[in-house]
Amino acid sequence: MGGRHSEVTVSMSPTSASKREVWSWINGWNIGAVIISAIVILPIATVIFIGLTPNDDIWSHLASTVLPLYIATTLQLMIGVGLGTLVIGVGTAWLVSMCRFPGKRIFEWALLLPLAVPAYVIAYVYTDILEFAGPIQSLLRETFGWTSKKAYWFPEIRSLGGAISMMTLVLYPYVYLLSRAAFMEQSVCVLEASRVLGRSPLRSFFSVALPLARPAIVIGISLVLMETLNDFGTVDFFAVSTFTLGIYDVWLNMNNVAGAAQLATALLAFVMFLVLVERFARHKQRFHNMTAKYTDLPRYELQGSKRYLATICCAFPVVFGFIIPAGVLTGFAVLHFESAANADVFRFAGNSVILSGLAAIFAVAIGTFMAYAVRLGRGRLLGALVRFASMGYAVPGSVLAVGVLVSLGALDNGIDGFMRKNIGISTGLLFSGTIVAVTFGYLVRFLALAFGTVEASLGKITPSMDGAARSLGHNPLSTLRRIHLPLIRGSVLAAAILVFVDSMKELPMTVILRPFNFQTLATYVHQFASDEQLGEASFAALAIVCFGILPVIILSFAITRSRPGFPIEVKVP
């Protein structure tokens, strides 16, 4: 009997243990993270569902007419922008990290300034400068006596090449940002070993530094390509037929939601392919420093003409990506101050600040909640679900807009039908067609920024702190509030700033989701610049640029201080 009793006890233990594991998993943090993830995933799931179950067969019509053009143009745009940002971003990052030349300290932060300029703003500026009636071509005709367009050749700015150039000028900072951070973290020993073996600084760059920085560079290129897919203002202004423009055209001009959802599903599949490629590129690649030697990086003193060539190479993207656009906008704002700085602009700026502020608050709060839930749960399933929900940044705004509007529209119809049937009143549109839809769209798209930043910061806090807080009688919420939040407040603030600035610049989602007669700075600038009235929109465009400068400066200083062993000044009384 004793033996049998012992067997029963042992056989029941796994079941009891599994039940305890299940009940321990069911808590407010895990359940809340699952519910939030489901809500955030809903727009993407809606797009896929509508795209795979259309009511009419418009896909065959799209496939035989415009789809090949959308695919070809989008691929060309991505290849051009990817190559351009790769060359500029990696080249300038290496120069400012490893070389000494005139202006190096200025270029360390100045090379990030184009990140503050939306692609559609720079497109409006250079079109005004380079078009037939612009100052450049007018000066050429006056100088050489040309009387018509046929008398000379000049590159067409409103073209695929023009779109590639404009996007490259403002998107290369993504590659520069991550490449420079990777170069700053590299060990001196590896670089010194390369030099001892007789390799020049240039050969060391290609054979040692570049392979070590490859994962960061791949991530930067992936971000650039995702931003390229998301762009609407530039391709719309230049009449370049991409997937994003096609979704907008099929939905709003052809009034076909199913067709737009099918295009959005195809684009979403392409984005997922990009994400998988990026993941595969880093598959099982790990680079570890086997030394604690984190002295100053070797600064190669460039000599002769190389010094000035490096200065020119670094100055080129800053001048053309920020100084010229900002200068032109400032000039237009001064000339057209009375009409550009009107009451409407300030009202639209208020709309932008309110929407972006709400998005930043909700994104940071939810991102912190989800990151802490993953830290507490440490389960693969929860972690995978939360990370899938936070990948909205990889999805173009036009795709998310389709899912947000359709899902919120279905919710509005359900509430309205219930109220009509049971109470006899119509509630109308409570969510879709309001700022709730825009804010929700921003949240879904930019939650990844907040979640990723907070999760990375929480990961630097040793788990022993959680155990110590528990031993002192603090529950998880109290531990988060009293211990973790004070330690990660810098990252939380950085996440809020990033979400706020990106929301200020967001155009495709705002154009589709905004309420009737509701304008933001982005939609206002797009409306006037599309009508060739850049002067009227100059003040609003300059405001968007100014909002983006602060985080750029913060990011630059954060990278400079990111290297282990960075000297910290201590004042001794």
The percent of residues in the chain predicted with pLDDT above 70, rounded, is: 81
Domains along the sequence of the chain with CATH: 28-50+350-518 (1.10.3720.10), 66-129+157-326 (1.10.3720.10)
Closest C-alpha among 38, 118, 36 to residue 503:
118
What is the spatial distance between Cα 92 and Cα 107, in angstroms, rounded to a whole number? Answer: 9
What is the spatial distance between Cα 421 and Cα 510, in angstroms, rounded to a whole number? Answer: 33
SS3 category, 100 = strand
Which pTM does this prediction carry? 0.77
pLDDT in tens, 514-559: 888 888 988 888 888 777 777 788 888 888 888 878 777 776 666 5
Q: Confidence band (pLDDT; 50, 70, 90) for 196?
A: low
Q: Between residues 373 and 12, which one has the greater pLDDT?
A: 373
Contacts of 292 (CB under 8 A, 6+ apart): none
pLDDT in tens, 298-339: 566 777 888 899 999 999 999 999 999 999 989 888 887 777
Contacts of 355 (CB under 8 A, 6+ apart): 435, 438, 439, 442, 503, 510, 520
| pLDDT score for 566 | 45
SS3 category, 290 = coil
Give mean pLDDT, residues 86-101.
88
Give mean pLDDT, residues 7-26.
51
532 dihedral zone (left: phi>0; alpha: psi -120 to 50; beta): left
Query: One-letter amino acid identity for 2?
Result: G
| The two structure tokens encoding residue 284 | 């099982």
Q: Which helix (H) or strand (E) holds 350?
A: helix 343-377
What is the spatial distance between Cα 163 and Cα 208, in angstroms, rounded to a whole number? Answer: 34
pLDDT in tens, 457-508: 777 777 777 778 778 777 888 888 888 888 787 778 878 887 888 888 888 8
Helix ranges restricted to H, 213-341: 214-230, 233-238, 243-248, 257-281, 305-318, 324-335, 337-340
Residues facing residue 100 across a β-bridge: 301
Q: Between residues 268 and 282, which one has the greater pLDDT?
A: 268
pLDDT in tens, 168-190: 999 998 888 888 877 776 545 55
Counting beta carbons within 10 angstroms of the beta carbon of residue 323, is it exposed (0 to 12), middle (13 to 18) or buried (19 or more)?
middle
Q: Between residues 131 and 378, which one has the greater pLDDT?
A: 131
pLDDT in tens, 365-404: 998 888 888 888 766 777 777 777 777 777 778 888 888 9
